[in-house]
Structure 1
């Protein structure tokens, strides 16, 4: 059972490439500051820097959206180098009201180019990122075809990640932090539903709404559940105290379904 028209792919059935409009003007100064800080002599040598998420797509909301970056280092960073990057990230985040959070995904050149990471790092750079600085590794990558293997490579950690979110939420006393964690967990859960796809599924979801659409197509009985998480992914106030329990339950259900995905194909 498939949508009447496929989505998220081009005429050849390959996953669509993201548009590359100029970054929103509000973020130019911040991105320039980041490039300068990461290229400083005391930082681990950087091979290339990539932007992804809402800022890369040009849909960010100043003061509300996260800033998401992939850092590809020339060599593996030692503990002091990683600590330097974390301190830099926290310092930038603390003095930048323009973004709610700054995230660094850190890898090194050999790791990113390794054959075993083609479906994770390779896919992510090609289809989610735009190069801000350095040699653009995306140029050496062909567009990917929809595959459950890619979904597993990107979100196969969902069970551990969602349960960690639930544990952190159980301990979090601050409403603003609770809201942030609930939103992040909901987005992770929704994107992870793509790994329940079959190998025959021709569509590839990009937005949260497309993930929900594809999930409900195959699991219509779960529409109410996934709609709740979709609402919480962009909520402006925290959900009730039962959220962490529902999150664990959904993670468990998804883990069970992952062994036999998409029974309605």
Structure 2
């Protein structure tokens, strides 16, 4: 992998690996693997994956969260979601080195569908590290930093903003605002990076590097993007920070993204 996150052939390299997991998080991963296998079993679970800072090797104990993707044989049910929430709570309570656990549930049908080829498929193939089961990436193409990939990964920010507005209005506690600001900060930075990704010609999931690369092309917005990156790593309870991201940077970014790459294909 070169300095732009690419393989020698110019395709985007898979960014994580189990041997990059910091030692402090190894017991967490072992416990996650056991809980997932015991709870879902082979009748429900096709495969499980890690993603985020832990498999990239950049996680900070006590600060970083644990991110997991489960690929199910069938569409997720209410029982599946209840079981996933139980695993999230169990792991979060047991291990102080993680600050929260998030489990995504998706069927293999969706992950391998044509509609998701350049979004959820790319996510599995390049941003996820196999933890259990057969790797779905074997059924997916190699990806390049193209405008198509940009559009299908983050070309729906304009559709997300109204929901954030509503959630911000309902966020009455510091904990609520921190949770929302982390999500918003990360999504804003990733959208900012994929906006410039085809021009830069590479891939990174590092929030700070993403903000700086964005700033090469949009220097007038780089300070706001740096705040978004900082908020994605260390969420803020300040309403003013959340307001700036949702009411100023977000709408501008959504409009610029649509102008440059177009809108993401609608999902059902």
- So what's the TM-score if we normalise by structure 1? 0.83
- CA deviation profile, 1:207-261 (whole Å, cap 9, x unmatched): 223322332222122122222223333347x364322321222111112112322
In 2, the alpha carbon distance for the partners of 1:226 and 1:129 equals 25
- Superposed displacement of residue 203, structure 1: 2.9
Provide runs of 4+ in structure 1 moved above 4 Å: 41-44, 198-201
- Superposed displacement of residue 139, structure 1: 3.0
- Superposed displacement of residue 103, structure 1: 0.7
Q: In the alignment, does 2:9 pair up with 1:24? A: no
Asked if structure 1 preserves the Cα contact closer than 8 Å seen for 2:155 and 2:257, the reply is no
Q: Which has the higher helix share?
A: 2
Equivalent residues in 2 for 1:3-14, closer than 5 Å: 7-14=4-11
1:37 matched to which residue of 2?
35
Structure (1 or 2) with the larger CA radius of gyration:
1
Asked if structure 2 preserves the Cα contact closer than 8 Å seen for 1:156 and 1:195, the reply is no
Asked if structure 1 preserves the Cα contact closer than 8 Å seen for 2:92 and 2:98, the reply is yes
Q: Secondary structure at the match of 1:182?
A: helix
Structure 1 window deviating more from structure 2 (134-143 vs 161-170): it is 161-170
Asked if structure 1 preserves the Cα contact closer than 8 Å seen for 2:212 and 2:226, the reply is no
- So what's the TM-score if we normalise by structure 2? 0.83
In 2, the alpha carbon distance for the partners of 1:126 and 1:36 equals 23
In the superposition, relative to structure 1, how do residues 176 and 239 fare at CA in structure 2: closer, same or farther (>3 Å)? closer
Mind listing any 5+ residue stretches in structure 1 that lack a counterpart? Answer: none
- Superposed displacement of residue 166, structure 1: 4.7
Q: In the alignment, does 2:233 pair up with 1:234? A: yes
1:89 matched to which residue of 2?
88
Mind listing any 5+ residue stretches in structure 2 that lack a counterpart? Answer: 262-268
In 2, the alpha carbon distance for the partners of 1:34 and 1:110 equals 24
Q: Superposition RMSD on alpha carbons, in Å?
A: 2.7
- Superposed displacement of residue 133, structure 1: 0.8
Equivalent residues in 2 for 1:196-215, closer than 5 Å: 196-197=195-196, 201-215=200-214
Q: In the alignment, does 2:76 pair up with 1:77? A: yes
Structure 1 window deviating more from structure 2 (102-111 vs 205-214): it is 205-214
In 2, the alpha carbon distance for the partners of 1:14 and 1:75 equals 30
Aligned residue pairs, count:
257
